[in-house]
């Protein structure tokens, strides 16, 4: 790798493992994230997303593996990583009996900022919190708590944000506003690593990875992830879809049947066999069949089904 590309790498780890007792929580994690990228971690609860994030930002020590975050060794230089990274936890972790301004000023003192008051005022203005600066944190809605947490993450001008399910429990407009802010930060060269359960948020990431049982099963752009799995999807519309769904689930080639509005999505990985088995149903009157592009949700359900049977797919 040449010097220009190396300088652009913010996270570069290989073979990272973590155990809690006999539980192997993260298994051979290898990940490269570049400056200004938004990288999305997806996976069910307990898949290892939070543990991975905490190892990357120096809060947990890996049992094995190596790598750097922001140019600092993830084992030996964790203090330096913490100084230059912002970490937003799943749960609201601020003092509810203090105001927004008081919370941020306390964070500024923790970082030893000589210009803490001006930094706080700037953060309040930037994230639209200036009019609420004297409001108690405990009285905020989910969306405003989210803004406070992001303001605290940005107070010390980090070059990396690690966000652990930051939009859980937040209304759709607040979620959209939050992602607009993330893209604005990425455009300024700030790297964002974010875990999420939402497929629409996954599609907003520059790159994403899916973690299951501690293993990173696939990573790349959304288009690369979808293309890598070679699955095929048909949409069927018409009458009595529940009855059709029951018949579809009995077909050996059908991996998934899911309702999407007024249609069913039928997914399989063997195209010829799928089309052959769907043929008699397609010949019946009363329904319309259309082959459609698989979505990320189709891919991730497929990955869950095939985990442990397929090798890890990493897209370069």
Please, which pLDDT band fits residue 6 given cuts at 50, 70 and 90?
low
Q: In sequence order, what are the residues at sequence separation of 6 or more whose Cβ sits closer than 8 angstroms to the Cβ of residue 59?
A: 78, 82, 87
Report yes or no: 216 and 209 within 8 Å, Cβ to Cβ.
yes
**Which pTM does this prediction carry?**
0.85
DSSP string, 134-167: TSBGGG--HHHHHHHHHHHHHTT--SEEEEESTT
Read off the pLDDT of each residue in 235-254 and give the average, rounded to a whole number.
94
Q: What is the pLDDT of residue 309?
A: 43
CATH class of the domain defined by 232-293: alpha beta
* Among candidate residues 208, 202, 155, the one with its CA nearest the CA of residue 179: 202
Mean pLDDT, the chain, integer: 89
* Cα(277)–Cα(104) distance, integer angstroms: 61
Per-residue pLDDT for 11 more than 70? yes
Distance CA 195, CA 179 (A): 13
Percent of the chain, pLDDT > 70? 95
Average pLDDT of span 206-232: 92
The region of weakest confidence among 17-21, 29-33, 125-129, 260-264 is 125-129
CATH fold for domain 3-226: Rossmann fold (3.40.50)
The domain segmentation of the chain, as residue ranges, is 3-226, 232-293
Confirm if 32 and 209 have CB atoms less than 8 A apart: no
Q: How far apart are CA 75 and CA 69, in angstroms?
A: 10
pLDDT for the residue numbered 170: 79
CA atoms of 166 and 172, how far apart (whole Å): 13
């Amino acid at each position: 790798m040449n010097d220009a590309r190396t300088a652009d790498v913010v996270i570069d780890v290989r073979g990272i493992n973590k155990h809690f007792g006999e539980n192997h929580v993260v298994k051979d994690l290898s990940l490269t994230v570049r400056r200004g990228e938004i990288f999305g971690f997806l996976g069910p609860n307990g898949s290892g997303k939070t543990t991975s994030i905490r190892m990357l930002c120096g809060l947990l020590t890996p049992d094995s593996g190596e790598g750097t975050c922001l140019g600092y060794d993830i084992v030996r230089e964790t203090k330096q990583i913490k100084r230059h990274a912002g970490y937003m936890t799943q749960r609201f972790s601020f003092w509810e009996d203090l105001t927004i301004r008081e919370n941020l000023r306390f964070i500024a003192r923790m970082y030893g900022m000589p210009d803490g008051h001006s930094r706080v005022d700037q953060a309040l203005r930037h994230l639209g919190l200036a009019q609420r600066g004297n409001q108690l944190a405990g009285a905020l809605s989910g969306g405003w708590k989210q803004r406070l947490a992001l303001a605290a993450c940005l107070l010390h001008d980090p070059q990396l944000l690690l966000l652990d399910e930051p939009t859980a429990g937040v209304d759709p407009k607040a979620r959209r506003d939050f992602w607009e802010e993330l893209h604005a930060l990425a455009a300024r060269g700030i790297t964002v690593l974010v875990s999420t359960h939402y497929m629409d948020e996954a599609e907003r990431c520059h790159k994403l990875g899916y973690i299951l049982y501690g293993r990173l099963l696939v990573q790349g752009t959304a288009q690369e992830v979808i293309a890598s799995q070679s699955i095929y999807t048909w949409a069927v519309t018409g009458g009595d879809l529940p009855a059709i769904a029951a018949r579809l689930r009995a077909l050996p080639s059908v991996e998934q049947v899911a309702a999407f509005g007024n249609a069913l999505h039928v997914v399989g990985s063997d195209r010829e066999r799928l089309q052959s088995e769907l043929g008699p149903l397609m010949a019946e009157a009363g329904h319309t069949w259309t082959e459609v592009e698989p979505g990320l949700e189709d891919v991730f359900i497929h990955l869950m089904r095939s985990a442990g049977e397929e090798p890890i797919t990493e897209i370069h």
